[in-house]
């Protein structure tokens, strides 16, 4: 489980048949084999750790074809920067919102506009996900917890403040950039509950 608060910007070292080696600024001793790390919003399992210095290391993750098909990981290249977040621990400060690291699809930046002390980005999301996007609701983009400003059909806006820009890979974002999107967990369950309740009401009407 994660919160969408990025704790490091990592770098892709190498890619080999679904195995990614990622450089980061975490202590090697702090990462257990089998630990979960959200990489650009995608929860991945650590398969090896190699110390580089007291405050740096590399770790590897193995990615299945299914994950490559539904996330931006198939677009990753050596040298690319990615957002990293360690799994939430008991007692950690809970910023952001509840994030599972299970990517729902890929959103694309279709607009960018400076607005004083922030930048407003417009994103297109897959049609099947737009029902989960609500004004003032939460959404995870590239692993970053953000608040939705406006929604228009399958497009929505988010504002990125300077701190978020400088501490995440949003500093490299531009029109055309693809981002992993995870919709709000509560929105998903609320919709499912309404569907089940609606089906139950119809059964009563039909005398079932």
pLDDT in tens, 20-78: 999 999 999 999 999 999 999 999 999 999 999 999 999 999 999 999 999 999 999 99
Q: Tell me how far apart the alpha carbons of residues 144 and 198 are, in angstroms, rounded to a whole number.
A: 33
CATH code: domain 105-192 is 2.40.30.20
Give CA–CA dist 16/32, Å, rounded: 22
Domains 8-86 and 105-192 share a fold: yes
Reduce the DSSP state of residue 193 to 3 states and report it.
Answer: helix
Quote the pTM value.
0.90
Write out the two tokens for 108: 């694309």
Question: 8-86: which CATH number, 3.30.110.30, 3.10.450.50, 2.40.30.20, 3.10.25.10?
Answer: 2.40.30.20
CA–CA dist 165, 53 (Å, integer) = 27
Separation CA 75–CA 106 (nearest Å) = 11
Q: Is 170 left (phi over 0), alpha (psi -120 to 50) or beta?
A: alpha
pLDDT of residue 185: 85
pLDDT at residue 200, rounded to an integer: 57
């Amino acid at each position: 489980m994660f919160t969408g608060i990025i704790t490091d910007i990592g770098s892709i070292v190498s890619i080999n048949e679904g195995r990614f080696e990622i450089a980061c600024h975490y202590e090697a001793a702090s990462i257990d084999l089998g630990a979960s790390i959200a990489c650009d919003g995608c929860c991945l399992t650590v398969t090896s750790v190699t110390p580089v210095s007291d405050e740096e290391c590399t770790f590897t993750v193995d990615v299945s074809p299914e994950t490559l098909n539904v996330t931006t990981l198939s677009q990753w290249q050596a040298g690319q920067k990615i957002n990293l977040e360690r799994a939430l621990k008991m007692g950690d400060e809970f910023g952001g919102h509840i994030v599972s690291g299970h990517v729902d699809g890929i959103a694309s930046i279709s607009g960018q506009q400076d607005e004083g002390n922030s930048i407003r980005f417009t994103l297109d999301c897959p049609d099947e996900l737009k029902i989960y996007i609500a004004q003032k609701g939460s959404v995870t983009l590239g692993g970053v917890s953000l608040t939705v400003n406006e929604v228009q059909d399958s497009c929505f806006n988010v504002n990125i403040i300077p701190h978020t820009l400088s501490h995440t890979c949003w500093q490299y974002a531009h029109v055309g950039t693809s981002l992993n999107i995870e919709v709000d967990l509560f929105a998903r369950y609320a919709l499912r509950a309404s569907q089940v309740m609606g089906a139950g009401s119809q059964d009563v009407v039909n005398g079932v």
